[in-house]
Amino acid sequence: MGRKFFVGGNWKMNGDKESIDKIIDFLKAGPLDPNCDVVVGVPAPYLMYCRERLPENVGVAAQNCHKAAKGAFTGEIAAAMIKDCGCKWVILGHSERRNVAFALENGLHIIPCIGEKLEEREAGKTEEVCFKQLKAIADKVSDWSRVVLAYEPVWAIGTGKTATPEQAQETHAALRKWLSENVSPEVAENLRILYGGSVTAANCKELAKCADIDGSLVGGASLKPEFVEIINASQ
Domains along the sequence of the chain with CATH: 5-231 (3.20.20.70)
> Mean pLDDT of all residues in the chain?
95
Which residues on adjacent β-strands are paired with residue 89?
61, 109
The 3-class secondary structure across the chain, one letter per residue, is CCCCEEEEEECCCCCCHHHHHHHHHHHHHCCCCCCEEEEEECCHHHHHHHHHHCCCCEEEEECCCCCCCCCCCCCCCCHHHHHHCCCCEEEECHHHHHHHHHHHHCCCEEEEEECCCHHHHHCCCHHHHHHHHHHHHHCCCCCHHHECEEECCHHHCCCCCCCCHHHHHHHHHHHHHHHHHHCCHHHHHHCCEEEECCCCCCCHHHHHCCCCCCEEEECHHHHCCHHHHHHCCCC
- pLDDT tens for 54-109 read 999 999 999 999 999 999 999 999 999 999 999 999 999 866 677 899 999 999 99
pLDDT at 1: 54
Asked if residue 165 lies in contact with residue 209, where contact means CB atoms within 8 angstroms, the answer is: yes
| Confidence check: pLDDT of 127 > 90 | yes
pLDDT at 14: 98
| Confidence check: pLDDT of 143 > 70 | yes
Q: How many CA atoms lie within 13 A of 79 on its CB side?
A: 17
| Confidence check: pLDDT of 195 > 80 | yes
Work out the burial of residue 113: count CB atoms within 10 Å of its CB; fewer than 13 is exposed, 13-18 middle, 19 or more buried.
buried
| Confidence check: pLDDT of 231 > 60 | yes
Work out the burial of residue 226: count CB atoms within 10 Å of its CB; fewer than 13 is exposed, 13-18 middle, 19 or more buried.
middle
Percent of the chain surpassing pLDDT 90: 93
Summarize the confidence of residues 121-143 as an average pLDDT: 96
The residues assigned a catalytic role are 94, 152
Strands 215-218 and 193-196: parallel
Which residues on adjacent β-strands are paired with residue 149?
193
Number of Cβ atoms within 10 Å of the Cβ of 115: 25
| Confidence check: pLDDT of 2 > 90 | no
d(CA 232, CA 235): 6
Asked if residue 78 lies in contact with residue 69, where contact means CB atoms within 8 angstroms, the answer is: yes
- pLDDT tens for 156-165 read 988 888 899 9
| Confidence check: pLDDT of 223 > 70 | yes
pLDDT at 96: 67
Asked if residue 174 lies in contact with residue 211, where contact means CB atoms within 8 angstroms, the answer is: no
pLDDT at 159: 83
| Confidence check: pLDDT of 215 > 90 | yes
d(CA 84, CA 130): 33
Summarize the confidence of residues 126-144 as an average pLDDT: 96
pTM: 0.95
